[in-house]
Amino acid sequence: MGWLLCYLVTLLVSHILSLCTCQDKIVPGQYIGGNHTLVSSLGTFSLGFFNPNENSTKYFLGMRFNKFPNTALVWVANRESPLDSPDFFMLSSDGNLVVLDQTRKLVWSTNASVSASAMNHTTGLLEDTGNLVLRFEEVTLWESFDPCDTMLPGIKISLNKKTGQQRRLTSWAALDDPQPGKFTFGIDPKVPVQAFIWKETTPYYRSSVYIGKDTAHFQNPGGTAFFLSYNFDVDDVYLAYSVSDSSVKLRVWLDPTGQIKQQLWQNSSKTWLELGNSRPVDNCDFYAHCGPNSACRRGEPLSSPCKCLTGFSAKFPNQWAVGNWSSGCVREKVLTCGNGIKSYFSKLERVKLPDHFVLLNNRSMSECESECQQNCSCTAYNYVDATDGSNIGTCLAWFGELLDLEENKTIFANDIYIRVHGSELGMYFVFCYFLYGCVR
């Protein structure tokens, strides 16, 4: 009741923002409602009450590209609480940005803790990057860059290794319904060097493995450039997109069907151009499509994308033959290991590394090899050089089944050394190994 009264009091002294489209700020005593909007300083983004698409009669406080009306909302406040009319967006007496319905009931709040002295002095500012920030003096109390379903340049998908705090994309339930859907996109909390799309809690798509930090450069046929940066070395690991200059409008969004899409705005056609990097698209993108100990081959006929790894054969050959690959492959010959018996490894080049590895940091290549060779339960390893050019890098070791491996990768590809029975390598190689140690 106290809360309700506060809003009523605030509302009495409120006045609606004038129709001037130069307003990028909301201050105590003002509100936004109806078809009025905040517009960022250079006119890139607008914030107001919108319908999610033409087929929806529900209103959400949302943000969109101001110059491309009727295109998707890039951020929505009251995702879970649709309104029947474009009601009130304002600063409440507790200093937070709030959405109220027509009965002045609280529908959404930024929920920041605001000190008593700041309460009547906060502002809401729509920045030209598409970030809505709640500020007191120069301090940011809350920001909308904690994303919904869309990454704009500057938004990070992140995981804090110390606190476990995550920033994930969450898909909409449907194109006309911003309520949280089934899919999320974020960094793997188990080994924070890869990203996943989860369908509810089940892995749906897994990215490549990103060791260290780097920036990948993409160029679309029209010549526009954008970048994917990552840094998995710091405590707050992240993935983020950026663009070559601010005239390039990029959105990366997780659509309601669970597909992550990169789209660039085309001035000529006034549409979002979808780039060829959407995931998942191929069979091999679906997590563990070929089951354990097998490789998935992109672009192969739908009937045969899966192949058992060297030394393995189908666990259930009848199922495998009819295209049910979920049980994967098992070893053909029991490995002999331990007591000075030699270990053999088969090298597979340019793969998407399988899931469920252990990261052994601060190892040299030879330390990585011998640690895996000397441990009979180590089924595979891979060594990644340090980005600083030293010989001390990262060792990845697998201690079980090899799941979600893809062959013939062209970008973010790695080699992997898989433990096999000596006979798999052929006599020449075994001989060669004893003499020179030339098989790795």
Ligand X SMILES: *[C@@H]1O[C@H](CO)[C@@H](O)[C@H](O)[C@H]1NC(C)=O
Which residue stretch of 104-112, 146-154, 160-168, 424-432 sits at the interface with ligand X (rule: CB under 6 A)?
Answer: 104-112
Among residues 18, 140, 267, 387, the one that binds ligand X under rule CB under 6 A: 267
Which residue stretch of 134-142, 189-197, 273-281, 321-329 sits at the interface with ligand X (rule: CB under 6 A)?
Answer: 321-329
- DSSP reduced 3-state for 199: strand
Judged by CB under 6 A, does residue 120 bind ligand X? yes
Among residues 51, 81, 166, 408, the one that binds ligand X under rule CB under 6 A: 408
Q: How far apart (Å, rounded) are the C-alpha atoms in residues 31 and 10?
A: 10
- Paired strand residues for 197: 185, 205
Judged by CB under 6 A, does residue 362 bind ligand X? yes
Rounded to 5°, the CA angle 243-247-251 comes to 55
Judged by CB under 6 A, does residue 377 bind ligand X? yes
Q: How far apart (Å, rounded) are the C-alpha atoms in residues 397 and 357?
A: 5
Residue 172: CB minimum distance to ligand X, A: 12
Which residue pairs from 336-342 have beta carbons closer than 8 angstroms and sit at least 24 positions apart in sequence?
A: 336/421, 337/376, 338/376, 342/422, 342/433, 342/434
Among residues 277, 326, 370, 373, the one that binds ligand X under rule CB under 6 A: 326
Residues in the chain: 440
Which residues in 420-439 contact ligand X (CB under 6 A)?
Answer: none
Among residues 119, 273, 365, 432, the one that binds ligand X under rule CB under 6 A: 119
Which residues in 55-94 contact ligand X (CB under 6 A)?
Answer: 55, 93
Residue 248: CB minimum distance to ligand X, A: 6
- Provide the CA 307 distance to its chain's centre, in angstroms: 28
Q: How far apart (Å, rounded) are the C-alpha atoms in residues 286 and 302?
A: 13
Residue 431: CB minimum distance to ligand X, A: 26
Which residue stretch of 105-113, 164-172, 182-190, 340-348 sits at the interface with ligand X (rule: CB under 6 A)?
Answer: 105-113
Tokens of 110: 């930024």
Question: Strand pairing of 45-50 and 37-39?
Answer: antiparallel
Residue 93: CB minimum distance to ligand X, A: 6
Judged by CB under 6 A, does residue 247 bind ligand X? yes
Judged by CB under 6 A, does residue 111 bind ligand X? yes
With residue 402 as reference, give the H or E element that holds it: strand 393-403
- DSSP reduced 3-state for 370: helix
- Number of alpha carbons in the 13 Å side-chain half-sphere of residue 124: 27
Q: How far apart (Å, rounded) are the C-alpha atoms in residues 329 and 99?
A: 54
Among residues 14, 51, 53, 278, the one that binds ligand X under rule CB under 6 A: 53
Q: With respect to ligand X, which residue has the nearer C-beta, 116 or 302? A: 116
Judged by CB under 6 A, does residue 248 bind ligand X? yes
3-state helix, strand, coil in the chain (%, to 5): 10, 45, 45
Q: Which residues bind ligand X (CB under 6 A)?
A: 34-35, 53-55, 93, 108-109, 111, 116, 119-120, 175, 247-248, 267, 297, 300, 316, 319, 324, 326-327, 362, 375, 377, 392, 399, 408
